[in-house]
Homo-oligomer: A and B are copies of this chain.
Amino acid sequence: MSVVAFERFQADGRELVEPALERWLPTEAQAGPLAAAMRHIVFAGGKRLRPALVLLGAQHVGGRRQDALAAAAAVELVHAYSLVHDDLPCMDDATLRRGRPCVHVVWGEGLAVLAGDALLTLAFEVLARHTPPGCPVGAMVVALGEAAGWEGMVGGQVEDLAAEGQVPELERVRRIHAGKTAAMMSVSLRLGALAGGAGAEETEALARVGRDLGLAFQIVDDLLDVQGTTAELGKQAGADAEHGKMTWPAVVGVERSRRDARELVEGALAACPPGAAGAVLQALAQSILRS
């Protein structure tokens, strides 16, 4: 697949997802500063990688992207909430996110906690309300909860906090990244597969692909923090080292980190079950290495 065709796929996905998020988020007329804060983080120019994985998952198993749209919005809402809470002074203490001031900088810490809570709640509401009848909505809510909660993203964030300033160790970094990043990328493909009508085996296989791509994505993110500038990243460069974060390059170095990311992506693609969107998935996976 050409880079142009891949960029076209991503743009098509955003054309579905952006208006859906616009429709399903409260307006400022409805919810004042709470809505403003929720929209500030959701419409901050994110790449919508997780929604793209959801739509891809549905297409890959022969389903319709439209059926997975609620799930695509839901994973982006969960991602947005996690950014707001992660940036709080009691967590990563960030001030800049995607080139703009963090929610707590603009509206205060109390409202930032509440805006995150509202985004997380809305994710489940949107998933259940807008997933079409006939899709396994119960199983989809369970999958999202498992990936976002104590076994997944929140669990990884707890490990991340606890590991600050400790001696870096590969198994621990792997656990942190598996929870913080890979769980949500895995469930993105899983939700797409479920909405698209896939069987259990195909769904599990795609979820494993998402997990390995997610791990590679986080390794690349760690590398960018070491090597990028604040202007390039839209957030403070070098923040990981400053906070004593346990990162992949801190354990194995930059060169091996690059190799590990590439091998994870290649392994994921080799293990990917055949399907209608193989070429797009391949292009998306390669784009992770380039990001």
A residues within 8 Å of B by Cβ?
A: 26, 30-35, 38, 81, 85, 88, 90-91, 108-111, 113-114, 116-118, 120-122, 124-129, 131, 137-139, 141-142, 144-146, 148-151, 154-155, 157-158, 161-162
**Could you tell me the dominant secondary structure of chain A's interface residues?**
helix
Which B residues touch A138, using CB under 8 A?
Answer: 128-129, 131, 137-138
The copy count of this chain in the complex is 2
Alpha-carbon distance A121/B26, docked complex (angstroms)? 20
Nearest-neighbour CB distance to chain B for A25, whole angstroms, equals 9
Find chain B residues with CB under 8 A from A157 CB: 114
User: When the two chains form the complex, which single residue of B85, B108, B128, B150 contacts A145, counting CB atoms closer than 8 Å?
Assistant: B128
The distance in angstroms between the C-alpha atoms of A158 and B36, with both chains bound, is: 12
A165–B35 CA distance with the chains assembled, in angstroms: 23
Kindly report which residue of chain B lies nearest to residue A135, judged by CB atoms. B138
Say whether, besides A33-B158, A120-B120, A150-B118, A110 and B91 are in contact (CB < 8 Å).
yes
Residue pair B120, A117 in contact (C-beta under 8 Å):
yes
Give the residue among A31, A34, A149, A155 with the most B Cβ atoms within 10 A.
A149
- Give every chain B residue within 8 A of A108 (Cβ-Cβ): 90
